[in-house]
Amino acid sequence: MTATTTVRTSPAVLAPVAAFAALTIAYVATNARTPHPDASGQDVLAYTTSHVGPINAGAVLIVLSAAPLAIAAGLMQRILRGPSLTTVGAALAAGGLTFSGLFAWAGARLTDSADPVLARTLADLGYLSGGPAYVAGFGLLAVGIVMSALLERNLPNWLIWCGVALAAVAALSTLALVVSGFGFLLPVVRFGGLLWLIGVAVMLSRR
């Protein structure tokens, strides 16, 4: 008598990850010229009042990207049977993206006569939400996936250790709140984490 082996595939996880990736790339392309965090309030106000369309479009894109990220994390947790830390991290990351979009939208409502300090404050809140706050949540998401993968060995070793490295970099990048020099790590987690998430989704879809 021959035993049969059932292989469970999970292609559905690819759809929300692909949507998250597409919305993230579209957001970055739309807001590529956004003033840096060290720009003056005057510069921020001048930019926001003259680029209302792109800012509004970017706000919509980044808010929309929060949903597929949360959905993807929920599916991954279910497939991997991992800890709730995965979805907790995803919720925090999605919240950061949402607030970042809302602050950007509010900034785009300012007029030329608005206080530059207010423009700078809204820009800072958007940066902190979409930067350190998002990255901190994504780091927890990565830890949740890695914890399950280390126990079950259901992901390739290289992908597991890439997740460990991302989580470590995410923890370090939150120091950008107090030391601006750590800010360069934020894009590493943002885009490196996106590629890693795609890799995880592809591997899970082939199970």
Does any domain span residue 182? yes
Does any domain span residue 37? yes
Does any domain span residue 5? no
Q: What b-and-e string marks burial along 85-98, b requiring 16 or more CB atoms within 10 Å of the CB?
A: bbbbbbbbbbbbbb
> What's the pLDDT score for residue 10?
57
Does any domain span residue 3? no
> What's the pLDDT score for residue 68?
97
User: Rg of the chain over CA atoms, in angstroms?
Assistant: 19
Q: Within 13 Å of residue 79, how many CA atoms lie on the same side as its CB?
A: 27
Domain that residue 152 falls in: 12-205
> What's the pLDDT score for residue 33?
86
Does any domain span residue 93? yes
pTM of the predicted protein model: 0.89
Rounded distance between C-alpha atoms, residue 202 and residue 207, angstroms: 9
Nearest to 130 by CA among 182, 95, 180: 95
> What's the pLDDT score for residue 52?
93
Name the domain count of the chain.
1
Does any domain span residue 2? no
Task: Mark the ranges of the chain whose per-residue pLDDT is less than 50.
Answer: 1-9
The type of residue at 127 is Y
Does any domain span residue 6? no
> What's the pLDDT score for residue 47?
93
> What's the pLDDT score for residue 207?
63
Rounded distance between C-alpha atoms, residue 86 and residue 71, angstroms: 11
SS3 155: coil
> What's the pLDDT score for residue 189?
94
Does any domain span residue 102? yes
Rounded distance between C-alpha atoms, residue 112 and residue 122, angstroms: 15
> What's the pLDDT score for residue 61?
97
Overall residue count recorded for the chain in this entry: 207
> What's the pLDDT score for residue 177?
86
> What's the pLDDT score for residue 9?
46
